[in-house]
Each structure stands twice: as C-alpha cells, then as structure tokens.
Amino acid sequence: MAFPKDFLWGGATAANQYEGGYLSGGKGLSTLDAITGGSHTEPRMITYKTKDGVIESCTRDQALPEGATGYIDSEKYYPSHVATDFYHHYKEDIALFAEMGYKCFRLSIAWSRICPKGTEEINEEGLQFYDDVFDELLKHGIEPIVTINHFDIPMYLADELDGWSNRKVIDYFLFFCETLFKRYKDKVKYWMTFNEINFLRSWTQIGIHNNDRQSKYQAAHHLFVASGKAVKLGHEINPDFQIGMMVAYIPSYPMSCRPEDVMEALQFNREQEFYIDVQVKGYYPAHKIKEFERDSIVIKKEPGDDEIIKEGTVDYIGFSYYMSTVSSADPKDVKYVGGNQMPAVKNPYLEESDWGWAVDPLGLRISLSSLYDRYNVPLFVVENGFGAVDKLEEDGTIKDEYRIDYFQKHIKAMKDAIELDGVDLIGYTPWGCIDLVSAGTGEMKKRYGFIYVDMDDEGNGTLERSRKESFYWYQKAIASNGEDLSK
C-alpha cells in the first residue's frame, strides 16, 4: 500500500470564505469584510473611506491612499459576512465530514474573532466558539489542522498601523499565537503560520497601503520573523506541536528547451521557493540578496532577526497545488489564461477549467518530488481542487463526474510520489471540501465542495447542505486509504 496507515485524509476551508458570522459573538472587522464579490471578468473591490471622508473603491490588489480606512457600504454585498455560515452549521458540517471518513479537517481561525482589533484584547466568546468546534471534531475522531492566519488581518491593524509594514504587528501576532497555543494545546497538534505566504501582497491580505516592492518585501520580512517566533513559542508551549508553513506552489515549465526559456522558468520557480527557503532552511537565499542589491531594496532588520528566522524553521511544508504554468523569454508571444491569484501562460498540452486553470495531475507528482528533493522535510498537500459550476438536479442529486475525475488523477499522482519517488507525505486536504466563497472571484457558482450549499452569488439561498456524487466517491477513496479510486 502506498499511503501510510496514519495518512491524514480530510478537507480544507478558510474562515473568511466559509465561517460567516462576521459580527457575531464579539468578532471585530477584518480587511476581507470590506471586499465585495466579483466574477471571472469583474474584479473584487475594496470599499474604503479616504482621510477626507470620501467613500471610494478600488480593486483588491491596488494601493490604498495614505490614511484610507476600510469601509462597509450598506448598499453593497460582501460575501464574507455570511459566506456559507459554518458559524451556525458547524455541528451539521462536521457530521458530514465524519460521514465521509475524514481523519483531519483544515480550518483557519479568524484573528479578529479572538482579538477584535488584533491587539491584546481577548474575546472569550470567540475562543469558546473554536473550543466547541475542536471538541466536535475530536468527538468524531477528526484531527484539527489549524491555519493561524489565512489571507486577512484585523481591520484596525490595517487602518491604524498600516498592517505588516509596521513591526509592532509582529508582537500582536505573537500575542494571538500564544493565546491559541495555550488555549488549544491539548486539542490541536498541527498548525500553519500563514496561508499562501507568497501571495500576501496588499491591503486585502496584510493591511499595507503601499504595494511597491520595497513595502511588500519589508512586510514579508516581518512575516518571516513572526513565523519564526511563533514556531519557537509553540514548541516551548507543547513540544509535540507540528508547526508548518504554507505556500501556493505553481510549478512552471520552460516553453521550450531554449536556454532563455529554461532560465525564465528557473526564475519563476525561485520566486515561490524563496518563501520556503527562508522558513525551512532558515536564511535568505543568495539569489534573493543579489536581487535586492540590484533593485535597491533594503530590508530593515533588527538585531537578532536572522537568528530568529534560523531558530524558527518549520516542521513541515504545507502547500496548495491547483495548476502549473509555463515560462517564456518572449512573454508578448504567449497566450495568457486564468490562474490561482495570478494570470498564467497557456500550456498547449493541458486542458483548463472553466476559469482557465490548467489541469495538470502529473504536475502534482513533479511538485512533490522536486520539493522533497530540495528540502527533505515532510510535505502536506493542504489545498487541491476543481472549481466548477454544479447543477442541482430535480431529484436533488449533483452529478460532478468532472470533479471525481480531477481528484482521481491527483490522488494517483500523490500515490506515485510516495510509492515510486519516496516522498514523505503527511496528508491531503482538498480545497473547499464544502462549497464556500471563491477567494479569487468572490463567487459561489465557482464551486469546489463535495457538499453542495444552497447559496448564490448575491447571497440568496437556504444554506441547505446536499451530498454530491463526489461525496460518496471520496468516502470510498478514504475508506480504502487511497487504494480504490474507481468511479
């Protein structure tokens, strides 16, 4: 058998896309509470108030004016406010996860539910909510996998401190981590510090107003220091904690065997591996230091930062894998398609989803093998999935054979990576195991789940849960420990 007996089969979600209850139980505002919905062609927008009191909006990756603050416009729809309402349905949902046979469930904790402003003020009702969730999971024999911070920051820290550009946020984050580690030290074993750390780039995710490269890399340094401190702190509180990092991994192939294309692919892959290098190897790679020198980027460090990063290396690499891309030395001569948080170059050898994401199962085996060869630490595929429009039939069924086909091929790729390449793989938590709001577009119609949730792009629906055909397929796959992948 390829998969180890203790392999962690499960599913993954994020608080801002799934939890809802955005002001319930003492929760404070998050940056993502001020992000509207969008579509494949229409971007999600930040609504904000200028320092002169004017209400404006911009795309979620644009820079905000100095002094601008997040603003909730009562005339607009914000998908995160209700999402698919795990806050009020967690017992029902966890029972469905248990029915599928989950060994684990990856979720994130809303920072502003625990610390409403992100400061050292604690909301006990928020802590109790997660106590209840963890207790419910453990009752069903499901291991919680916790992402400490997933794509947002308390709005107060963004508005008042300019988010992660301000070093003070490191201390606030450490207070948040310490609160979680001590409260849940006997309930949670597996943690990840930041979700897709290589995609943290704007006010939306890290609260910074200025999006130039100097600002983004300075914020990234603060994230690295915060992660290093969190790993060390967590191990002191409970030596059995397994604390990992999380990166969006999108392997890039050269468009051709022309050396210039190969170099472009090397540079593309280096940019994501930089974030892994720092958190696994414990230092900035030489090529990045040279890049900073060429581009006059100066990372302001305090004494001891390098030691903190070195001492706070992670126990495992968590990563998302949805697609691959292609690199060319002549970018004007290629065709671009959709992608995870970024446009991607079309690969003529691969099919794409309706949202333009390349479907590349072999790319997952390639990613697992290259990452394990490079870092030699355990790996965890914490996101992987297929966004599609699902049809609810008159008899209540959802026939999503396309999703089954996607997972069948990707699980086979993981099996090959373990059995043939010797990769140490901890587990697999497909993304959006239950329908939730798309991070990229804010849509509900772009569905990922094994469980259908009755909600549309405007927030209309009963929130009733229904099992898709993929629900029963994944149930069988888990029961056989990945051996029976037949349709």
302 is catalytic: no
What's the rounded Cα separation, in Å, for the pair 228 and 278? 10
User: Which one of the listed residues 143, 383, 458, 469 is annotated catalytic?
Assistant: 383
Location of structure tokens 């910074």: 208
Using alpha carbons, select from 159, 86, 149 the residue that is nearest to residue 112. Answer: 149
Helices (H), 56-167: 86-100, 111-114, 124-139, 155-161
Taking the C-alpha atoms of residue 150 and residue 142, their distance in angstroms, rounded to an integer, is 21
What 8-state DSSP symbol labels residue 64?
P
Cα 64 from chain centroid? 23
Longest dimension (CA), the chain: 65
Classify strands 344-345 and 336-337 as parallel, antiparallel or unpaired: antiparallel
Tokens of 318: 């968590």
User: Burial letters for 155-185: b for 16+ Cβ neighbours within 10 Å, e otherwise?
Assistant: bbbbbbbbbbbbbebbebbebbbbbbbebbe
- Give the number of other Cβ atoms within 10 Å of residue 113's Cβ: 25
Distances, alpha carbon 123 to alpha carbons 118, 148, 158, in Å: 11, 16, 19
The strand pairing partners of 145, in sequence order, are 106, 190
Report yes or no: 421 and 367 within 8 Å, Cβ to Cβ.
no
Question: Which residue do the tokens 């502003």 mark?
Answer: 112
One-letter identity of residue 372? Y
C-alpha span between 374 and 367 (Å, rounded): 10
Q: Length of the chain in residues, anyone?
A: 487
Residue 74 burial (C-beta neighbours within 10 Å; 0-12, 13-18, 19+):
exposed
Q: Are 98 and 92 in contact (CB under 8 A)?
A: no
Angle at 479 between CA 418 and CA 4, to 5 degrees: 25
Q: Which residues are catalytic?
A: 383
